[in-house]
A and B are shown apart, each in its own frame.
Chain A
């Protein structure tokens, strides 16, 4: 394919609009940032190859198209065993990498420790809850958007999100106030 400047601009717009959500989906599925980035690249490579088809769709339809590709890629990757190995490795060494936002050394240290606990608790969630939680928090999607992307009712998404939050709150001994 010989790209034009217009193709590049259109693709860049689509990439910027959906990359966080798609990456969050892969992160929830595979729990390994490196593999998630590889799968993200493969998903958008397919967008690039079918750019005219994708570009002609509305934003929601674009997301649906991209997530169909993403789900297939995740299944293929899982079947290939790479995802399973990466997930298991990640679950074994779940550790926090988050920055702290709370002032004061004692609270900062406590915050980091809480993040490590949160990371480990998220790794323990059932996969369908982990994916939805990742898409809602890191991907910035609403329950409706997640439902459309995954082909599930928004009510199911909200229920799973609520279950995930309850499990995390229990693991961290926190009050959950959705």
Chain B
């Protein structure tokens, strides 16, 4: 019966490499430090969007609704 195999150079190098690799958490930190967050829409964009939305709602509620008429 033989015991567990003693580590050879490849085993040791593989373990060394794993220990030396950049940890994922550190990689994530670097990535976040480099890439700024994609910016949210500006206040101007929101204001224009709200204006358009309001006007659509106003038109829709003020206009007659022929589509709701009884088809029969």
Contacts and interface: CB of A to CB of B under 8 A. Distances in A.
Given A8-B38, A15-B34, A110-B6, 16 more contacts: A2-B39, A5-B38, A11-B34, A20-B22, A23-B22, A24-B17, A37-B22, A40-B30, A41-B33, A48-B34, A98-B15, A99-B19, A114-B12, A115-B12, A134-B17, A175-B8
A126 interface: no
Contacts of B14: 137
Contacts of B18: 98-99
Tier of interface size on chain B: 20 to 34
Contacts of B38: 3-5, 8
A16 B7 CA distance: 31
A164 B56 CA distance: 73
B9 A165 contact: yes
Contacts of B7: 101-102, 111, 114
A37 B30 contact: yes
B69 interface: no
A91 B6 CA distance: 27
Main secondary structure of the interface of A (DSSP, over half): helix
Contacts of A20: 21-22
B13 A137 contact: yes
B15 A37 contact: no
Tier of interface size on chain A: 35 or more
A119 interface: yes
Nearest to A134: B20
B22 A137 contact: no
Contacts of A100: 15
Interface stretch (A63-71, A74-82, A143-151, A166-174): A166-174
Nearest to B10: A177
A59 to B, nearest CB: 19
A11 B13 contact: no
A175 to B, nearest CB: 7
A5 B37 CA distance: 9
